[in-house]
C-alpha cells in the first residue's frame, strides 16, 4: 500500500509541475515559435510557387526564341533566305533595282487651329469644304 501511495504522489507532483505557470508559459512560447515558423514556411512556399511560374514562362519564351532562331538559321542556308536577310538588315538591292529611302520629318507641319465657336455652321463648312 505504501508503494501505491508513493506512486500516486509522484504522479501528483508530475501533474502539478506540468500545470504550473512557468511550464505552461514555456509550452506557450514553444507553440508560438512553432506557429511563427509554420507561417514563414508557408510564405516561402508561396514565393517558390511564384518563382516557379516565372521560370516556366521564361523557359517557354526561350523555347520559342530557339525555334525562331533555328528557323532563321535554316532559311540562311538557302539563297532566298540570304537575299531576304541582306535586304532587310542592310538595305541592299539587286542590280537594276531602285532603292527608296523614307526619312521622317523632324519638324511636323503646323496645323492652324480653327475657331470652334462658330458652331454648326463651321461643322457643315468643314464637312462640305467651303
Domain borders along the chain are: 52-83
Is there a contact between 23 and 17 (Cβ–Cβ < 8 Å)? yes
What does each of the 130 residues of the chain score in pLDDT, given as a tens digit? 555 555 656 667 777 777 888 889 999 999 999 999 999 999 999 999 999 999 999 999 999 999 999 998 999 899 888 888 888 888 777 778 777 777 888 887 776 665 555 566 666 677 666 5
Q: What is the pLDDT of residue 89?
A: 85
Please list the alpha-helical segments (H only) found in the chain: 2-18, 21-76, 79-90, 120-128
Cβ distance 63 to 71 under 8 Å?
no
- How far apart CA 36 and CA 124 sit, in angstroms, is 74
pLDDT of amino acid 34: 94
91: Cβ–Cβ under 8 A, 6 or more apart, which residues? 99, 101
How far apart CA 72 and CA 74 sit, in angstroms, is: 5
CA 112 to chain centroid, in Å, comes to: 45
Q: Is 92 left (phi over 0), alpha (psi -120 to 50) or beta?
A: beta
Amino acid at each position: 500500500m505504501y508503494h501505491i501511495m508513493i506512486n500516486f504522489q509522484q504522479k501528483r507532483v508530475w501533474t502539478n509541475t506540468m500545470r504550473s505557470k512557468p511550464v505552461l508559459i514555456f509550452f506557450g512560447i514553444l507553440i508560438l515559435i512553432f506557429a511563427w515558423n509554420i507561417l514563414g514556411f508557408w510564405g516561402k512556399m508561396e514565393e517558390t510557387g511564384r518563382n516557379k511560374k516565372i521560370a516556366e514562362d521564361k523557359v517557354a519564351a526561350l523555347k520559342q526564341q530557339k525555334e525562331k532562331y533555328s528557323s532563321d538559321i535554316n532559311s540562311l542556308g538557302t539563297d532566298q533566305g540570304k537575299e531576304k536577310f541582306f535586304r532587310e538588315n542592310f538595305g541592299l538591292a539587286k542590280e537594276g533595282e531602285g532603292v527608296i529611302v523614307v526619312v521622317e520629318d523632324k519638324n511636323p507641319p503646323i496645323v492652324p487651329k480653327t475657331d470652334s465657336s462658330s458652331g454648326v455652321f463651321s461643322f457643315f463648312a468643314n464637312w462640305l469644304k467651303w
